[in-house]
Structure 1
Amino acid sequence: MKTTTIPNRSEVPTEYTWDLSSLYPSDEAWYKDLDLYEEKEKLIGNFRGTLGASAEKLADWLDFYRDLGILEERLAYYCELRQTEDEGAAAARAMTGRFTIIHARINTACAWAIPEIQAIPDERMAQFLEHPRLEEYRIYLKKILRWKPHILSDREERLIAMMSESEGTCQEAFSVLTNVDIDFGSIDTPEGPRPLSQSTWSSFMEKPDRDLRRRAYKAFYQQFEQHKNTLATLYAGSVKQDVIKARLRGFPSARAMALFPDRVDEAVYDNLVATVNRNLGPLHRYYELRKRVLGVPELRHYDVYVPLVQSVKRTTPWEEAVDIISKALAPLGEEYVHTLRSGLLGRWADRYENKGKRSGAFSAGSYTGLPYILMNYKEDVIRDVFTLAHEGGHSMHSWYSSRNNPFMHYGYTIFEAEVASTFNEELLFRYLEQEAETKEMKTYLINKRIDDILATLYRQTMFAEYEQRIHSLEEAGEPLTVDRLRSEYRTLLEKYFGPAMVFEPESDMEGLRIPHFYRAFYVYKYATGISASLALAERVLSGGEKERADYFTFLKSGGSRYPIEALQVAGVDMGSPEPIAQACQTFAQLVERLEQLLG
């Protein structure tokens, strides 16, 4: 869909939007189920005090809680996806607001359950776990029991549950500020004024006109600069919540609490940062190459996304992108490709930008609904073809997980999710490089792949290092002022980008515009994910049926295994720093190939 202006939501053709009817056919149907959800609150108390009586009584509660959870997930996904269509739409925000209130109340009403389960004597629980009626809940129960040292009393858990409604306030305010309230204006181009937004930003940064990039960069960051105190206050508030919650639950740090659910040792996080820091040489070498090829006296922050091969122009309509992705993923078999292709050409995806729509891209797979994809697809940005393959990987992971596991443990971790998505990107790159008919196209694609690995491995590790620094400051009692947040981020910018880069005064505002920081210690999983996926892609493509079957065992495992174990089944050990080092080596080899192609 070509457009020179950003349309209103009502102006987007229906066939380009997602069809949420697999969740609910209408808002009215959603409200009807919301009433049913609210009514179920009255039944929760009937189970209290019964869970330790027998395996059957425990199973009765878990059956009720499972059905409540399935209903809750459907309600949540529908209203949240509706809200992302237009963050300023009052009707969708009202739905989300009402659900959030009821959800918080039901969470509070259920707060007694986990402590009561954990109070069941170990010997009796061991007997319960052997009962046939608890078979589908066995993994879920074992995960609950693992949390036993960090679960508080019934009264304390109830108080925490009552506070849950306000937990997302900082993130919600950040989203409204950056997606709705801030007007980034427009940029004058040779084709006339073009709107600047968080979605069009990436397109501007890839333009060959350096002055255009500079003006877009300055205009973009000027808006963040004008809201620096609000942004810093919101992020500092989010960090404080992380630290308080960790202390309440008896964890030594916010990071330890964040890694605990996945049973990931903090050494995995430290190994990632340390290994990448030991391999910054190829990254600095790449930026030096950029500086030489672009012929600029000083490399600036707005110079790092523009393709080094300017002669290659490519426009890829949505349907063509789906064709390319289908061919690239052929090694995964007919079923995988047919399912994904049908979804992308059907209405799994909300394809294009509209006013108020949430920026970026994501996949939203649930147990009962289709694995939806939000895109802000631009035909002239080849990165968006890779993004579509990436989100398709997430959606297919959800597709297989939901069809091979019971609800209570079908959900895979984010640690695993980033493997399935970046695996698809690697297959897409290899396919496009193989099909490239000219040296220019091959050079362009290698440059593109370098930039993708850089963004996922190096950049996300920089983000992870920043998160750890900021949370450590809060835990040490250091005030998180706007100047301190910016100085910490600038230090990391200078370390990761190296001596070739000259930053703007406002460049360190980047650290206050990253949405993922509001989900603490999340971004490191991108870096571990791409390291695992590079190893697995090589294993699948160079192997046979067993290697492919191992990968599908991973896709189907859902939450039946912890992520390190699930990846070991697939054929890679993320408990070791070796996959990270190999990923850095792959990056170094690509940089060397690019140097040779560019002469």
Structure 2
Amino acid sequence: MVDARLTVAERREVKLEDTWDLESLFADDSEWEEGLLKFEAGIPRVIEFKGSLGDSAGSMAAALNYIVIDMELLEERLGYYVMLRQSEDIGDTHVRGLYGRYINLATKFAAAKSWLEPEIQAVDAKKIRAYLNSELLADFQVYLQKLLRFKPHILSEKEESLLAKQLESVQVPARAFNALMNVDMDFGKVKVGDTEFPLTQSSLISLLQNKDRAVREDAYRKFYRCIDAHKYTMAELYSGTVLRNKYIAEIRSYPSARHMALFPDNVDLAVYDNLVSSVRRNLKALHEYYEMRAEMLNLKDNLRPWDVHASIVDIKDIHHTWDEAVEVICDALKPLGQEYVDVLRAGLLGRWADRYENKGKRSGAFSAGSYSGNPYILMNYKDEVLRDLFTMAHEAGHSMHSWYSARNNPFPHYDYTIFEAEVASTFNEQLLAKKLIEESSDDAVKAYLIGKQMEDVIATIYRQTMFAEFERDTHLMAERGEPLTVDTLRETYSDLLKEYFGNAMHFIDESSLEGLRIPHFYSAFYVYKYATGLSAAMTLSARYGGEAEGNAYLSFLKSGGSKHPIESLKLAGVDMNQTEPVDYALNCFANLVKEFRRLNK
């Protein structure tokens, strides 16, 4: 077996202990195949319950136990297993075939059960109230209560069936965008020293971090030159997505696409708008950061967008093997209690995680927590990359959130929202940063860590809020009947760039094309949750101290999807209906900028 830390191995060469063990989902592909056949055979039975939901609480319980508990739980296991297998080697044609078969059956299942929610909505209100008090439906109370909120927005059975059958086709703009960006576009190559490196979406950031400014500029200009060559197609793809959001909101009787997107989480538009307002009030510190960056790079009056990611702090190599990283993280998370730390340590040292890069493996990192299986983590860990230590802590936060949620809730409402998820992950990063900064006696290391903290706030609060403004404004334009063209999209995005970066930054014409290449925009109105999540995490970590705060935070993790996210976060001790968490986080950012200046005098 090959040590994946030393070379990029073929998947079959990676040490078994460095890979995840998916047996908690299925023992192997053959057992998964058996599960898929069982799932396929179970789809026709779904229709047998149609027309019975209004008969009695027992009839509704029988339908929900079969469709939700038996079928949806099996579907989740099937989906997670094949998604994780595909992540191991994206080029594995056998697994791609499995995934295609799963998606086909998942689409058929969605169509087969499309009558369910309209029929629940049609049950007499008095009957539903009685059902909610029935012990037979105890595990479905939250599910039903949340579903009943949607009654004004549920269509007829026939209309819901038609929409369900569009499940595959509505993904076409996003799939076309991904194919264009990741397959069809040739961004060329960038010369670094004597070697030419392919320029891709994945390699762009690393090239923009290069110390050689000529390399950074070459990468940036070549990348956006290629976007410029496809700008009309990309504008049409994004416009089509916005117009479809507008259409669905209209036929479901929502005031706007933004209302529709925030409705499932029961988040008031004021939370979104307050975020934007708070960030706008605190742009001065961001502008000061870019002025400081320009000074430190000796680029006063000449800071360019290809200078944003260049390192302004050099530190000695800091290595953590996987096992060492686990111990550092567990030590930082001790305030969360012995159970939290023991479970996490066992999972990370066991086989929750797929640790290192291999050929064909999906890039980046993620946590995939399901009800039946372990909360798996994909990493491409590198011992010498300090940021990977934080990535591990981040994904561990997601995984422990899933672990607590699945053990404290029935399946119908264990799944939490992105709004909540981003708190659990970034909270861990905050505790880790606090530990490392407090324990370091090296000013260069402290400066690096503070620099990382600043960059995280910029990327997660400032930048995601800028994206949120763009989404809000472009959807408003469509809802007012204004055309979304290359020119109108570029003008809108260009204005935001100037406002957020301030006078220190000098853009080029192609910079306004950035708004066309953001994949998040194909899942509208969720980027703001990254900003609210980090704001909440920074507020909570600052208050974190004794047993009471620890128990409150664990209550939040255990609540899963049993409450709407604003209410579950109140359990932890933060109210995102208010502006204080965002204001606090950005005040911390301003203080970080001051401390960074002090350390680098």
TM-score, normalised relative to structure 1:
0.94
Whether the 8 Å contact between 2:315 and 2:448 is mirrored in structure 1 is no
**Residue of 321, 324, 328 corresponding to 1:324:** 328
Aligned to 1:274: 277
Partner residue, 1:203: 206
Q: Please, which of 379, 397, 401 is the counterpart of residue 401 of structure 2?
A: 397
Displacement after TM superposition at 1:239 (Å): 1.9
The offset of 1:14, in angstroms, is 4.2
Q: Which amino acid aligns with 2:166?
A: M
C-alpha distance in 1, partners of 2:444/2:79? 47
Task: Quote the Cα distance in structure 1 between the aligned partners of 2:345 and 2:210.
Answer: 30
Task: Give the equivalent residue in structure 2 for 1:580.
Answer: 582
Q: Match of 1:302?
A: 306
Match of 1:79 among 78, 82, 106: 82
Q: Distance in 1 between matches of 2:197 and 2:284?
A: 38
Distance across 2 between alignment mates of 1:211 and 1:6: 28
1:146, 1:133 → 2: CA distance? 21
Q: How does 1:139-538 map to 2 (within 5 A)?
A: 139-182=142-185, 187-190=190-193, 192-194=195-197, 196-297=199-300, 298-538=302-542
Q: Is the deviation greater in 299-308 or in 440-449?
A: 299-308
Task: Count how many residue pairs are aligned between Structure 1 and Structure 2.
Answer: 597
Which segment is superposed worse, 240-249 or 556-565?
240-249
Residue identity matched to 2:372: T
**How far off its partner does 1:189 sit?**
3.1
Deviates more, 1:206-215 or 1:275-284: 206-215
CA shift digits 1:395-449 (9 cap, x unpaired): 1111110111000000011111110011011111101101212111111211111
Deviation, 1:94, is: 2.3
Letter aligned with residue 35 of structure 1: L
What letter is aligned with 1:564? I
1:53-64 residue pairs with structure 2 within 5 A? 53-64=55-66
Matching residue's letter, 2:308: V
2:430, 2:541 within 8 Å by CA — same for their partners in 1?
Answer: yes
CA apart distance, 1:182? 4.4
Structure 1: 5+ residue stretches without partners: none
Change (3 A) 1:366 1:218: same
**Aligned mates of 1:221, 1:25 — CA distance in 2:** 45
| Counterpart contact for 2:211–2:310, Cα < 8 Å | yes
| Aligned residue number for residue 36 of structure 2 | 34
Measured after TM superposition, the shift of residue 356 of structure 1 is: 4.4
Distance 1:342 1:191 in 2: 45
- Structure 2 residue 122 is the aligned partner of structure 1 residue 119: yes
Runs of 4+ in 1 over 6 A off after TM superposition: 1-5
* Other structure's SS at 2:367 match: strand
CA distance in 2, matches of 1:392, 1:89: 27
CA contact (8 A) 1:206 1:306 kept: yes
Q: Which moved more, 1:83-92 or 1:38-47?
A: 83-92
Judged with a 3 Å threshold, the aligned counterparts in structure 2 of structure 1 residues 117 and 355 are, in CA distance, closer, same or farther, namely same
Amino acid corresponding to residue 276 of structure 1 in structure 2: V
Tell me the distance in 2 between the aligned counterparts of 1:165 and 1:188.
Answer: 40
Instruction: Choose which of 52, 70, 73 in structure 2 pairs with 1:50.
Output: 52
Query: Alpha carbons of 1:332 and 1:22: their partners in 2 closer, same or farther (altered >3 Å)?
Result: same
Shift of residue 162 of structure 1?
Answer: 1.3
Does residue 558 of structure 2 align to residue 571 of structure 1? Answer: no
Bigger shift: 318-327 or 287-296?
A: 318-327
CA deviation map 1:38-84 (0-9, x unaligned):
11112112111111111111111111022111001111112222333
- Give the C-alpha shift of residue 515 in structure 1: 2.2
> What CA distance in whole angstroms lies between the structure 1 residues aligned with 2:498 and 2:359?
35
- Using the TM superposition, name which of 243-252 and 21-30 deviates more: 21-30
Choose 225-234 or 75-84, whichever is displaced more: 225-234
Q: Partners in 2 of 1:340 and 1:544 — Cα distance?
A: 21
**Residues 175/26 of structure 1: CA separation in 2 closer, same or farther (3 Å cut):** farther
Structure 1 partner of 2:27: 25
In structure 2, list runs of 5 or more residues that go unmatched.
Answer: none
Q: What whole-Å deviation, never above 9, does each CA across 1:86-130 have from its counterpart, x for those lacking one? A: 444333332222222221221111111111111111111111111
User: Partners in 2 of 1:557 and 1:406 — Cα distance?
Assistant: 11
Question: What amino acid is aligned across from residue 26 of structure 1 in structure 2?
Answer: D
Whole-angstrom CA distance in 2 between matches of 1:571 and 1:63: 35
Contact 2:14 2:358 in 1 (8 A): yes
Call closer, same or farther: CA 1:351–1:192 in 2, change over 3 Å: farther
CA RMSD of aligned residues (A): 2.2
* Distance change >3 Å, CA 15–CA 477, structure 1 → 2: farther
Q: Choose 97-106 or 310-319, whichever is displaced more.
A: 310-319
CA shift in 2, pair 1:387/1:539, >3 Å: same
Which deviates the most, 405-414 or 436-445? 436-445
Q: Using the TM superposition, give the Cα deviation of residue 334 of structure 1 relative to its aligned residue in structure 2, in angstroms.
A: 2.3
SS across alignment from 1:73: helix
Alpha-carbon distance change, 384 to 174 in structure 1, aligned in 2, over 3 angstroms: farther
Match for residue 594 of structure 1 among 580, 588, 596: 596
What amino acid maps onto 1:563 in structure 2? P
CA contact (8 A) 2:44 2:112 kept: no
**What is the CA–CA distance in structure 2 between the aligned matches of 1:226 and 1:3, rounded to whole Å?**
39
Q: Contact 1:317–1:379 at 8 Å: present in 2 too?
A: yes
Cα pair distance change 1:355/1:254, threshold 3 Å: farther
Which one of the candidate residues 141, 146, 152 is aligned to 1:138?
A: 141
Judge conservation of contact 2:118–2:155 (CA < 8 Å) in 1: yes
Alpha-carbon distance change, 474 to 316 in structure 1, aligned in 2, over 3 angstroms: farther
Q: Give deviations 1:433-481, integer Å, cap 9, x for gaps.
A: 0121211111121111111111111111011111111212222223322
Q: Counterparts of 1:342 and 1:515 in 2: how far apart (Å)?
A: 35
Q: Deviations over 1:21-43 (max 9, x none)?
A: 22222222222211111111121
- CA distance in structure 2 between the partners assigned to 1:174 and 1:87 by the alignment: 18
> CA separation in 2, counterparts of 1:320 and 1:537?
23
| 1:6 and 1:195 in contact (8 A); partners too | no
Amino acid at match of 2:332: A
Q: Distance in 1 between matches of 2:334 and 2:549?
A: 15
**Which range is displaced more, 72-81 or 508-517?**
508-517
CA distance in 1, matches of 2:92, 2:186: 17
Q: Distance in 2 between matches of 1:184 and 1:313?
A: 32
Range with bigger deviation, 96-105 or 230-239:
230-239
How big is each residue's C-alpha offset from its partner over 1:329-367, in whole Å with a ceiling of 9 and x where there is no partner? 121122212222232233322334445444432221111
Confirm or deny: 8 A CA contact 2:4 2:15 kept in the other structure.
no
Displacement of 1:369: 1.4
Q: 2 CA distance for matches of 1:169 and 1:26?
A: 31
